[in-house]
Amino acid sequence: MAPVPNGTIPSAPVTGRLSSVYSEVQKKRVDHALPLPSVLKRPFTIIDGPPSSAAGNPDEIAKLFPHLFGQPSAALAPSDPRVAQTHRKLKIGVVLSGGQAPGGHNVISGIFDYLQERAQGSTLYGFRGGPAGIMKCKYVELTSEYIYPYRNQGGFDMICSGRDKIETPEQFKQAEETAKKLDLDGLVVIGGDDSNTNACLLAENFRSKNLKTRVIGCPKTIDGDLKCKEVPTSFGFDTACKIYSEMIGNVMIDARSTGKYYHFVRLMGRAASHITLECALQTHPNITIIGEEVAAKKLTLKNVTDYIVDVVCKRAENNYNYGVILIPEGLIDFIPEVQHLIAELNEILAHDTVDESGLWKKKLSDQSLKLFEFLPQAIQEQLMLERDPHGNVQVAKIETEKMLIQMVETELEKRREEGKYKGDFRGQSHFFGYEGRCGLPTNFDATYCYALGYGAGALLHSGKTGLISSVGNLCAPVEEWTVGGTALTALMDVERRHGKFKPVIKKAMVELEGAPFKKFASLRDEWALKNCYVSPGPIQFSGPGSDATNHTLILELESQA
């Protein structure tokens, strides 16, 4: 068991949270003891798997990672307790990279506790503010006291995060200097697909320079799009989806009680629609739009609008003038015609003056003009007026849920005139995003992260590098979870950028042939017309349901079994 100090929050006015006021629930969580997989509770040995390849273009990956390509994945296995374990002290750095996800603090406390228990006298440095902290050698030494108030707490504020990347030769040089200065044996990079790619580049670079610093990644993102067979889920997804589902469930009961609103709920998750799909499986909304399906079927915005309007009309016939509709944040990125329009607009806005009379519109292709005219006026204006510093249209700023409400209203009016709709439609828009990134981690995320961190410590202690900490068998009791590391190069493919091959870990998108989508697809027609709402309620830390994981993970693991 981890040496979690008992007692209340120290009251000393130190940095970080030590001086914070804690709620009853925070206090309870800070002292919550976490179970470890059995293999981490006893002496272990590392079993290497067969040589690995790449997710795509192995030849190019081999060229990009000459020192790391092909290395086996590693699995921890119980060892003969009579065999002496390595007890050398380590100096380890840890960094949080990118957006917040519940559980990040537990990865760090997992690493720390590993070092305390298995490599006494070790030092853990926390780089501040993300990868910039590595480059600028901005760090804090993490002690038992420093870490304590963050145990099982949400947020990344223990050392904060950042979105910088270590990319240029000069930046790699800075990282090397920091590694040398702190005499680092290892570095744990907690991040998403980009950050883990970066971790692997660092590992390759350190090895090529004969530095002793090993690098291990950890899979973090609420979006749930960093996963593969060996890494069944990214941490934070479970908590974020449960927080959003609590709110969705509440809104559903409200919709049913009032009987007069359609709630359009946009959910965070720009690239993939995993969050939206998981929330649908948890709550059974009337309509759910999955970006990957929209893209695969090459749907237009009009198609999506019509789909919603069809359901609204059918429900009106049953006297249901209310409902709940889930929309992924990245929806319009999935619609090919919108991409074309945006590209054309960016071109026009960059080179032409936009006259008020609208002559500029003649430069749009027919298809784009038609789409532009189909958009509500407010959205048209937003597209024309709000640009990012590069002068580009800010697609991310478009409130898709409000846009859809307006388009649905317009279409319903048309149908009303045609005598095909007699209902009442009132839309309410919601965006659930920031609320879910820093909640108190669920029991699952808290335990999963702790094992990821503890396992990362074990991998570094064993001299491994270029692996992503991998904890598996997650549907079994925690004791039976597997622990190891997967070669980061095995997750990689290349993309051609500026005439060069760049290594990437491709985002795991919602698979239309995958078990979670198929389950959803088999039920959505029933959900559309009946009201099968489920209200998951607030996340509980004890009692029934408190140890459950999410539908996506369970369905995926079951289908692999």
Contacts with its own copies, residue ranges (CB under 8 A): 20-29, 100, 129, 153-157, 160-161, 243, 246-247, 249-251, 253-254, 256-259, 261, 263, 282, 284, 428, 430, 434-440, 532-545, 548
Closer residue to its own copies (CB): 261 or 517: 261
Binding residue per annotation — 287?
Answer: no
Instruction: Residue 440: name the closest of 240, 257, 254 by CA.
Output: 240
Beta strand pairing call for 123-127 and 91-97: parallel
Shortest distance in whole angstroms from residue 308 CB to its own copies? 19
Structure tokens given for 385: 């007026």
Shortest distance in whole angstroms from residue 540 CB to its own copies? 6
174 vs 171: CA distance, rounded Å: 5
121 vs 89: CA distance, rounded Å: 6
Mind giving me the DSSP string for 489-543? GGGEEEEEETTEEEEEE---PPPTTSHHHHHHHHHHHHHHHS-------S--SSS
Structure tokens given for 418: 């045609």
Residues 6+ apart with CB under 8 A from 475: 549, 553, 554, 557, 558
Shortest distance in whole angstroms from residue 104 CB to its own copies? 9
Shortest distance in whole angstroms from residue 208 CB to its own copies? 34
Closer residue to its own copies (CB): 343 or 385: 385
Q: Are 414 and 406 in contact (CB under 8 A)?
A: no
Residues 6+ apart with CB under 8 A from 539: 239, 242, 243, 246, 439, 440, 442, 546
181 vs 159: CA distance, rounded Å: 19
Binding residue per annotation — 193?
Answer: yes
Structure tokens given for 69: 């390509």
Closer residue to its own copies (CB): 203 or 553: 553
169 vs 413: CA distance, rounded Å: 59
Shortest distance in whole angstroms from residue 344 CB to its own copies? 26
Shortest distance in whole angstroms from residue 407 CB to its own copies? 18
Closer residue to its own copies (CB): 123 or 443: 443
Helix (H) or strand (E) holding 558: helix 551-560
3-state secondary structure 252-269: HHHHHHHCCCEEEEEECC
Closer residue to its own copies (CB): 151 or 263: 263
Structure tokens given for 43: 């002496």
Shortest distance in whole angstroms from residue 539 CB to its own copies? 4
Residue 95: beta bridge partners? Answer: 189
Radius of gyration of the chain from Cα atoms? 25
Instruction: Residue 251: name the closest of 531, 549, 543, 561 by CA.
Output: 531
Binding residue per annotation — 415?
Answer: no
Closer residue to its own copies (CB): 249 or 484: 249
Shortest distance in whole angstroms from residue 438 CB to its own copies? 4
371 vs 368: CA distance, rounded Å: 5
Closer residue to its own copies (CB): 243 or 313: 243
Q: Are 110 and 456 in contact (CB under 8 A)?
A: yes
Closer residue to its own copies (CB): 191 or 466: 191
354 vs 331: CA distance, rounded Å: 27
Binding residue per annotation — 269?
Answer: yes
Mind giving me the DSSP string for 502-514? EEEE---PPPTTS
Query: Residue 326 — φ and ψ, nearest 5°?
Result: -100, 135
Residue 380: beta bridge partners? Answer: none
Structure tokens given for 176: 């090397």
Binding residue per annotation — 222?
Answer: yes
Residues annotated as part of the active site: 223
Shortest distance in whole angstroms from residue 9 CB to its own copies? 12
Closer residue to its own copies (CB): 51 or 259: 259
Binding residue per annotation — 270?
Answer: yes
Indicate the residue type of 296: A
Helix (H) or strand (E) holding 482: strand 482-487
Helices (H), 284-335: 291-296, 301-317
Annotated binding site: 99, 193, 221-223, 260-261, 268-270, 329, 434-437
Annotated binding site for substrate: 221-223, 260-261, 268-270, 329, 434-437
